[in-house]
Amino acid sequence: MARGRVSDETLVVTNKLEAHYGRHDGLVSDILAGLSAAGYDIDSLDPTALSGADEFHLGGRLATIALLESVREKQPESVLDVGCGIGGPARTIANELDVTTLGIDLTPSFVETATELTARVGLAGRVSFKVGNALALDLPNEQFDLVTLLHVGMNIADRPRLFAELARVLRPGGQVLVYDIMRIAPGSLTLPMPWASSDDHQHLGDVDDYLGALRAAGLEAGEPVDHRAIVSTALRRAADAPPPVNLSNLMGPDFVEMFSNLRTAVAAGLVAPMQIVGSKPG
């Protein structure tokens, strides 16, 4: 399929995804009102003040920083964050690695929110966003040193095509950093989950699915890492010192049920937040 084109079937799933992620209107004003109510000066915001609401993956900002340790050594200069949500990881990556970052996401309201929040925290010169589909990126070949994918693959059925596309935009010697919820044991899961309201856009894979898809895309796959310990630490810290805004500001009141279902599945040993780094031969 040509660059940037998606099939009709993909468009149907896209609509379902938009209904799931785009459920909550007025994101920026809701987040800023929450910060203001907590006593923050919203005209002079540090990006970390947003991190309860803008890092939409298990472990939040703490996990993002831990993940970056595995790719820091290669000193990437240009980073693509695929499925960027409202941009928290892209802003953290830009600050932590001192790089320029482009975030792409299928959900237009998330991209608008990401752009507005990034301007508000003074990072617009280094971090930008656009609407796009991970399965058909409207980007040239071999443009990025690092591609990150945080809690996005659970929405994508065609993982071989996903990783072929990520490998295409990666420079030789570049890396793909994956951090997804993966299946670690059989057993039924209760929906809604934070990434899906119904089965048509829930596509959990296991470690072997990911390793197979990475290798089929010509990438060398590193050892998978289970990050449940970091997630427990992050949850303890959030319980001790609740952040001024949280993922209910992003997803609405239903997030409480989504998160409870995910916690139950993690505690039952059915799923885990797993990291895998893929490298494109130089």
Ligand X SMILES: C[S@@+](CC[C@H](N)C(=O)[O-])C[C@H]1O[C@@H](n2cnc3c(N)ncnc32)[C@H](O)[C@@H]1O
Which residue, judged by CB position, is nearest to ligand X in the bound state? Answer: 85
By CB under 6 A, what part of segment 13-32 binds ligand X? 17, 21
Q: Which of 30, 31, 32, 56 binds ligand X (CB under 6 A)?
A: 56
By CB under 6 A, what part of segment 178-237 binds ligand X? 194-195
If the CB atoms of residues 117 and 219 are measured against ligand X, the closer one turns out to be 117
- Give SS3 for 128: strand
- Give SS3 for 267: helix
CB 124, min distance to ligand X, A: 18
CB 152, min distance to ligand X, A: 4
Torsion, CA 124, CA 127, CA 130, CA 132, rounded to 10: -170
Token pair for 5: 């084109």
50 binds ligand X (CB under 6 A): no
> Which residue matches tokens 């790089």?
99
CB contact at 8 A, 213 and 282: no
CB contact at 8 A, 193 and 270: no
The DSSP bridge partners found for residue 220 are 279
For residue 172, which of 63, 25, 46, 281 has the smallest C-alpha distance?
281
85 binds ligand X (CB under 6 A): yes
Q: Which of 47, 76, 88, 278 binds ligand X (CB under 6 A)?
A: 88
Q: Distance between CA 16 and CA 21 in Å, rounded?
A: 9
Which residues lie below 8 Å from residue 114, measured CB to CB, with a gap of 6+?
84, 85, 86, 87, 90, 103, 105, 129
135 binds ligand X (CB under 6 A): yes
- Asked if omega into 108 is within 30° of 0 (cis), the reply is no
152 binds ligand X (CB under 6 A): yes
84 binds ligand X (CB under 6 A): yes
If the CB atoms of residues 105 and 145 are measured against ligand X, the closer one turns out to be 105
If the CB atoms of residues 56 and 144 are measured against ligand X, the closer one turns out to be 56
Number of residues that bind ligand X (CB under 6 A): 24
For residue 9, which of 274, 201, 248 has the smallest C-alpha distance?
201
CB 211, min distance to ligand X, A: 20
If the CB atoms of residues 87 and 174 are measured against ligand X, the closer one turns out to be 87
CB 106, min distance to ligand X, A: 4
Interacting residues with ligand X (CB under 6 A): 17, 21, 55-57, 83-85, 88-89, 105-107, 110, 133-135, 150-152, 155-156, 194-195
